[in-house]
Amino acid sequence: MTLPPALVSIPGGSWQAAGVRRCDAVVRPLGPWDALFAFEDTNAMKPVEFATALLARCVIAVGGDTVTGVETVRRLTMGDREALLLHLRRVSYGDRMELVMTCPHCRQRLDISVRASDLLLPVYEKAAPQFERWFGAGPEARLIRFRLPCGADVELAVSAGAGPAASLLIETCVENRQQATREGLAEALDEAIAELDPQAELRFNLVCPNCNVSVEGELDMASHLRRELTARATELLWDVHTLASTYHWSESEILAMSDVRRLRYLDMADTAASGA
């Protein structure tokens, strides 16, 4: 059975005519062809580029407007993109995710189970297409007008390398950037952006069972989904190999089946092979 598209919410939202903000979106669950896309076509993509490509495939609408390509999801803030990736994972494979990390204190491997729904934040109360904030004190204070970074900003910054990335984000996100070039303002601006778009960083806390020290974990949702989809693609390729060899069906015919039907045929093929 193919899962239907799901109506979800994003914390920042899209701004429409007359300053109206809408925080609804529609995503379709991941399917076999999405897994094969991740397996075949994304090796050279950085995580932010992979997120753009995957969201462009699976996000149907944002704020009532139909998503027509990568440029639409590139314009979404980083927090909204992370929320959509979490929703995509949740509606496709379930809420619970199994993660692995290393304790920074004792170097013990930690197997962690987290829920996507626990990482999703509610709609932001303070949201705007552009923000104004005073940075600094006294005669050194500067009023900075800026917007939250979007996917296109981060893609550009990542492609520029670690050195110029911060200054590039200032150039793209700050309207009066000549006021933001003073020493210390870049760091303060980064802190303000993190405060205004907390969904952009997926963090969770736990206690290491080995050393009993509190540990903060961070999840790169795009990289996690790519790993899951690549593993899924490997399973699907074996399914295609088995069923094509047994029944001589085409790849597209096999992948068009529901998971339930495909697994049933695999059980029948295995039973037939064992009895031969």
**pLDDT on residue 159:** 84
Choose among 202, 198, 201, 228: nearest CA to 94: 228
* Confidence category of residue 166, pLDDT binned at 50, 70, 90: low
Q: Which 3-state string (H, E, C) describes 206-228?
A: EECCCCCCEEEEEECHHHHHHHH
Sign, Cα dihedral of 42, 44, 46, 49? negative
Full-prediction pTM beyond 0.75?
Answer: yes
Instruction: Provide the token pair at 223.
Output: 């990289």
- Burial code (b: 16+ CB inside 10 Å, e: under 16) for 177-211 equals eeebeeeebbebbeebbeebbebbebebeeebeee
pLDDT per residue over 116-151, tens digit each?
A: 999 999 999 989 999 999 887 787 788 889 999 999
Residue 222's pLDDT band (boundaries 50, 70, 90)? very high
What's the pLDDT score for residue 138? 80
Check: CB of residue 2 under 8 Å from CB of residue 28: no
Tokens of 221: 């949702």
Residues 18-28 have pLDDT tens digits of 889 999 999 99
Mean pLDDT throughout 207-235? 93
Cα distances (angstroms) measured from residue 163 to each of 23, 132, 209, 268: 34, 26, 37, 57
- pLDDT tens readout for residues 143-154: 889 999 999 999
Each residue of 2-17: pLDDT tens digit? 789 999 999 999 998 8
